[in-house]
Amino acid sequence: MGLVGVAVVSLAAAAGAARVPPQHHVKRQVAELRESYDFVIAGGGTAGLTVADRLSAAFPSKNVLVIEYGDIHAAPGLFDPPTNWIEPHPDEAPRWTLLALPSPDMGNARASVQAGQTVGGSSAVNGQFFDRGAKQDYDAWHELGGLEALLSPNKWNWNGIFPYFKKSVTFTEPSPSVAARYGYTWSTSAYGGTGPIWSTYAPFQWADQKILTQAWHDLGVPDVRECAGGRKEGVCWVPASQHPVTGERSHSGVGHYADAQPRANYDLLVRHQVVRVAYGAGGPLGGGAPRVEVRSLDGDGGGLFNVTVRGEVILSAGALHTPTILQRSGIGPAAFLAGRGVPVVVDLPGVGSNLQDHSGPPVTWNYTAPYAPGAWPLPSEVGRNATFKAEATAAFAATPAAGPYTLGGGNSAVYASLPRAAGRAAAARIARKIRKQVLDGSARTFLPADLRGVPAVVAGYKAQLLVLARALEDAGSPSVETPWATAEGPVTAWSFLLRPLSRGTVRLDPADPLAPPVLDYRAGANPVDMDLHRAHLRFVRQLVATPTLQQFGAAELAPGAAVAGDDEALAAYIRDKSFLSFMHPCGTAAMMPRSLGGVVGYDLKVHGTKGLRVADASIMPLEPAAHLSATTYAIGEKAADIIIAEWKKKKGW
Ligand SMILES: Cc1cc2nc3c(=O)[nH]c(=O)nc-3n(C[C@H](O)[C@H](O)[C@H](O)COP(=O)(O)OP(=O)(O)OC[C@H]3O[C@@H](n4cnc5c(N)ncnc54)[C@H](O)[C@@H]3O)c2cc1C
Ligand SMILES: *[C@@H]1O[C@H](CO)[C@@H](O)[C@H](O)[C@H]1NC(C)=O
Ligand SMILES: *[C@@H]1O[C@H](CO)[C@@H](O)[C@H](O)[C@H]1NC(C)=O
Ligand SMILES: *[C@@H]1O[C@H](CO)[C@@H](O)[C@H](O)[C@H]1NC(C)=O
């Protein structure tokens, strides 16, 4: 362990919480690697380590290598002691932080996007909000694939992915007294797996938790008993990805690496960047797997080294980086690659295209009368009461962990369909507007300039718009999410646009192809996204006027009635105040047919290649109505099953 590691350990000791996972079979130099590997996984993140764990367990006589840019770090929960829910945790693992190009249609705002840069990837730094999408989300992935998806033995619709959601996680029910105290509901039919990722409901809530629930009920939004079972339109409880006894963050670097080791055939090379995959003289379809070209980030001469692969390569570097590996390999939009001097190996215009993220503006309000009088404790207690904070810290360290720190950032949210948010007529109007874009050809003009003339990409975008138009009319399919907002005020309630229509790009930095990529979010490029933002925000605003919040004199701070009543003024507010990334980038190596601009097929193989797949958030062709980690684990689990089944069939291997 280098100096950085030592520093992390001592900080962890000072904080008394975060512990660094054990290191097994860690390689820090290419000289320590074996001569060749059966499976090489690029990126030791959420999906990558899931795949590595399952493959190394299934094939004890085959060798698996994971190559990760970051190192092994402590990965405390985002809100573990000693934070005040404001400052970042002092021990948190390193992150990639990328600032996207300005989005002209959003007042030149720039998305600030992060991802984990550590063993465990984004699962080691995320908010641990562990929800699954709605049934309709995954059924849409399948529908987009047309005949190709129908004919594939690998189904990615709800029925095809649900078993992998179950397999990925061990869900621990809250105790009956905790469930009764807070009103937690769940259905064991959504769970039942024994996967190495833990989830549970915290044994704590702030005293005002029920107030917002009541306000949503005032608006007629119903409770959903279990939101992880495919139906999630309504008020939802959302489990946290944390251990039910210790309260520690549960992430892939622990569940799928530290806890899976020592396993003699599972190696991990840290502090190395996968530069590209390189095919031999036979080309991408000629023979076996490509080699994996890597470079050390800690000196080692800075030179390149090829890892020899006997079986196959799986790219799991996440939605921001998997497309960079493909592009450096000559797999991507031909015109773009040629312009950068990269020899074209496979012309796949979808690589780094189709970038989507969740985004949205806030509604804020204040209380002018005493808020929740007599209710104790409220979240501000940690910041102002040292005794309370000391007790909370001790409770979190106890066995089993208890108290406010187990709750993290909260575990409830509302998911509303567009018909609920805006009414059926307005939802139908928006859906018609989307269909009109497809029919009159304007859809193509919303795509990035260099993709408007690429027939496959245009066809794929049109297919997506038609699927989305239907989803937006569906009263059971969420269009907006508002995570919980409890506080004495000012209160901020975000409205997440769950089904964006605009598409961005991830492209190599022309100045340095090894540097983080150039992100062009192009937020708001499709003008219907603004219609959706407005409808969502007007819906969330109604909370302020509910009898429940009015008992405390709730007074809207922004956008306010005057702004909200005027389409143009509200658009200006949305352009000014939106977060353009809720850290859910996806879609940049989409699972769709090649004729629709897709990058991977339903077996996750990169179109036009052999021995190369993608398994991470990049394959999601459309955003699900959820934060992405649970879906990414399910992708890793299903990818592993597909790969295992295929290699078990091969004779003499
Ligand atoms: C701050 C933050 C908060 C979030 N909050 C939530 C939440 O509360 N709930 C939720 O469900 N989701 C949340 N998400 C999203 C979710 O965690 C991610 O979508 C998901 O974990 C992505 O998994 P992945 O496997 O696609 O990529 P990652 O888990 O990001 O893994 C990719 C890995 O590849 C490595 N890598 C990249 N390039 C290379 C290269 N060239 N060579 C070698 N290695 C490379 C990276 O360092 C990283 O470790 C959050 C994300 C962030 C960043
Ligand atoms: C890796 O292999 C490819 C394909 O054979 C070759 O072109 C490249 O030069 C090799 N890289 C190194 C560092 O040896
Ligand atoms: C909100 O209310 C608090 C408490 O009454 C007050 O201190 C604060 O100034 C208010 N904020 C705004 C923006 O009005
Ligand atoms: C501070 O917290 C302690 C411990 O929970 C509690 O007993 C005390 O009443 C709190 N003080 C105030 C002023 O609320």
DSSP assignment of 243-304: -TTT-PBP-HHIIIIITT---TTEEEE-SEEEEEEE--TT-TTTSSPPEEEEEESS-GGG-E
Amino acid at 95: R
Q: Are strands 109-116 and 95-103 parallel, antiparallel or unpaired?
A: antiparallel
Pocket lining: 123 vs ligand 1, CB cutoff 6 Å? yes
In the three-class reduction of DSSP (H, G, I as helix; E, B as strand; rest coil), residue 448 is classed as: coil
Q: Which of 78, 91, 72, 82 is nearest to 26 (CA)?
A: 72
In the predicted model, is pLDDT for residue 190 greater than 90?
A: yes
Instruction: Output the CA 358–ligand 2 centroid distance in Å.
Output: 39
pLDDT band, very low/low/confident/very high, at 10 (cuts 50, 70, 90): very low
The pick from 365, 366, 544 for probing ligand 3's pocket by mutation, whose C-beta has the most ligand atoms within 8 angstroms, reads: 366
Looking at ligand 2, which atom is closest to the CA of residue 281? 5
Q: Which residue has the tokens 């983080």?
A: 516
Contact 36, 89 (CB under 8 A): no
Q: Which positions ≥6 away from 322 have C-beta within 8 Å?
A: 42, 43, 315, 316, 588, 589, 614, 616, 618
CA of 279 to the centre of ligand 2 (A): 8
Is residue 46 a contact partner of residue 124, using CB atoms and an 8 Å limit?
no
For residue 343, what are the CA distances in angstroms to 125, 330, 334? Answer: 36, 6, 9
User: What is the Å distance from ligand 3's center to 366 Cα?
Assistant: 6
| CA atoms of 313 and 616, how far apart (whole Å) | 13
Pocket lining: 489 vs ligand 3, CB cutoff 6 Å: yes
CA 223 to chain centroid:
25
Strands 291-296 and 496-497: unpaired
* Site to substitute for ligand 1 among 51, 114, 126, most atoms within 8 A of C-beta: 126
Minimum-distance ligand 3 atom for the alpha carbon of 364: 13
Answer whether 127's CB lies under 8 Å from 78's CB: yes
Write out pLDDT tens, residues 327-351: 999 999 999 999 999 999 999 999 9
Judge contact between 579 and 587, C-beta under 8 A: no
d(CA 325, CA 284): 15
Gap between the Cα atoms of 24 and 31, Å rounded? 17
β-strand partners of 518:
507
DSSP secondary structure of 381-435: HHHH-HHHHHHHHHHHHSSS--SGGGGTT-SEEEEEEHHHHH-HHHHHHHHHHHH
Dihedral angle of Cα 134, 155, 506, 480, to the nearest 10 degrees: -10
> Which tokens sit at 219?
């608006």
Q: How far is the CA of 115 from the centre of ligand 1 (A)?
A: 5
Find the residues whose C-beta lies inside 6 A of ligand 4.
385, 387-388, 391
643: pLDDT strictly greater than 80: yes
Cβ neighbours, 10 Å, residue 226: 17
**Ligand with smallest separation from the Cα of 284:** 2
d(CA 390, CA 70): 33
Give the mean model confidence (pLDDT) for residues 632-652.
96
| 564 alpha carbon – ligand 3 mean position (Å) | 21
Residue 415 C-alpha to ligand 4 middle, in angstroms?
Answer: 35
Q: Which structure tokens are listed for 380?
A: 């501000």
**Least confident range of 90-94, 416-420, 429-433:** 90-94
Residue 3's pLDDT is 28
Task: Please list every protein residue whose CB sits less than 6 Å from any atom of ligand 2.
Answer: 278, 280, 291, 293, 304-306
Report the nearest-CA residue for atom 11 of ligand 2: 306
Q: Which ligand is nearest to the CA of 277?
A: 2
How far is Cα 109 from Cα 578, in angstroms, rounded to an integer? 9
From the centroid of its chain, how far is CA 569? 32
d(CA 169, CA 53): 14
Tokens of 265: 């055939």
Question: Within 10 Å of residue 568's Cβ, how many Cβ atoms?
Answer: 8
Question: Which ligand approaches the C-alpha of residue 636 most closely?
Answer: 1
Task: Indicate if the pLDDT at residue 1 is higher than 90.
Answer: no
6 has a pLDDT exceeding 50: no
Is the beta carbon of 250 within 6 A of some atom in ligand 1? no
- Cβ(370) – ligand 3 distance below 6 Å: no
Query: For 26-68, what is each residue's pLDDT tens digit?
Result: 999 999 999 999 999 999 999 999 999 999 999 999 999 999 9
Average pLDDT rounded to a whole number, residues 294-310: 89
What is the Å distance from ligand 4's center to 385 Cα?
6
DSSP 129: B
Q: Where are the alpha helices (DSSP H) in 154-222?
A: 158-168, 176-182, 209-218
Q: Supply the mean pLDDT for the chain.
A: 95
Question: Which residues does residue 364 pair with via DSSP β-bridges, in sequence order?
Answer: 492, 558
Q: What is the pLDDT of residue 469?
A: 98
Q: What is the pLDDT of residue 300?
A: 64
- Distance from Cα 2 to the centre of ligand 2, integer Å: 30
**Cβ atoms 368, 542 nearer than 8 A:** no
Q: Residue 605 corresponds to which tokens in the numbers above?
A: 């193989």
Ligand with smallest separation from the Cα of 238: 1
Decide: 558 in ligand 3 pocket, CB within 6 A: no
Find where tokens 């900080």 sit.
11
Q: Where do we find the tokens 């990035």?
A: 448
List Cβ neighbours of 292 (8 Å cut-off, separation of 6 or more): 40, 42, 67, 274, 277, 278, 306, 307, 309, 313
In the reported structure, the alpha carbon of residue 365 is separated from the centroid of ligand 1 by a whole-number distance in angstroms of: 33
Q: Residue 367 C-alpha to ligand 3 middle, in angstroms?
A: 8
Q: For atom 5 of ligand 2, which residue has the closest CA?
A: 280
Task: Report which bound ligand comes closest to the CA of 365.
Answer: 3
What pLDDT is stored for residue 16 in this prediction? 44
Q: Are 130 and 240 in contact (CB under 8 A)?
A: yes
Q: What pLDDT was estimated at residue 531? A: 98
Conformational region of residue 575, where left means phi above 0, alpha means psi within -120 to 50, and beta covers everything else = alpha
Amino acid at 78: L
469-486 tens-digit pLDDT = 999 999 999 999 999 877
Q: Give the ligand with the smallest distance to the CA of 383.
A: 4
Q: If you count them, how many residues does the chain have?
A: 653
Which amino acid is residue 263, in one-letter code? R
Tokens for 590, please give them: 């989409």
Q: Check pLDDT > 60 for residue 12.
A: no
- Residue 165 C-alpha from the chain's centroid: 14
CA angle 136-199-616, nearest 5°? 55
Structure tokens at 118: 């550590």
| C-alpha of residue 99 to centroid of ligand 1, in Å | 16
Q: In the 8-state DSSP scheme, what is residue 135?
A: H
* Continuous segment of H or E residues that includes residue 526: none
Cα separation, 294 vs 226, whole angstroms: 44
Partners of 507 in the beta sheet? 518
Are the C-beta atoms of 507 and 517 separated by less than 8 Å?
A: yes
CA of 381 to the centre of ligand 4 (A): 8
pLDDT at 188 over 90: yes
pLDDT at 15: 38
CA atoms within 13 A on the CB side of 341: 5
pLDDT band at 301 (very low <50, low <70, confident <90, very high): low
Residue among 30, 294, 295, 306 whose CB has most ligand 2 atoms within 8 A, to mutate: 306
> Ligand 3 within 6 A of 560 CB?
no
Asked whether 408 and 243 are in contact (CB, 8 A), the reply is: no
Nearest atom of ligand 2 to the alpha carbon of 279: 4
Give the residue, by CA position, lying nearest to ligand 1 atom 2: 126
Ligand positioned closest to the Cα atom of 356: 1
- Distance between Cα 445 and ligand 1 center (Å): 31
Which of 16-20, 81-85, 249-253 is modeled with the greatest confidence? 249-253
Strand partners, 362: 494
Task: Determine whether the shortest distance from the Cβ of 397 to ligand 3 is under 6 A.
Answer: no
Grouping H, G, I as helix, E, B as strand and the rest as coil, residue 119 is: coil
Instruction: Give me ligand 3 centre to Cα 207, in Å.
Output: 21
Which residues share a beta bridge with 366? 555
The pLDDT-based confidence of 18 (bands split at 50, 70, 90) is: low
Mean pLDDT in residue range 258-269: 94
328 pocket-lining for ligand 1 (C-beta < 6 Å): no
**What does the pLDDT read at residue 485?**
73
DSSP string, 130-153: -----HHHHHHHHHHTHHHHHH-S
Q: Identity (one letter) of the amino acid at 562?
A: A
Q: Which residue has the tokens 């840290």?
A: 270
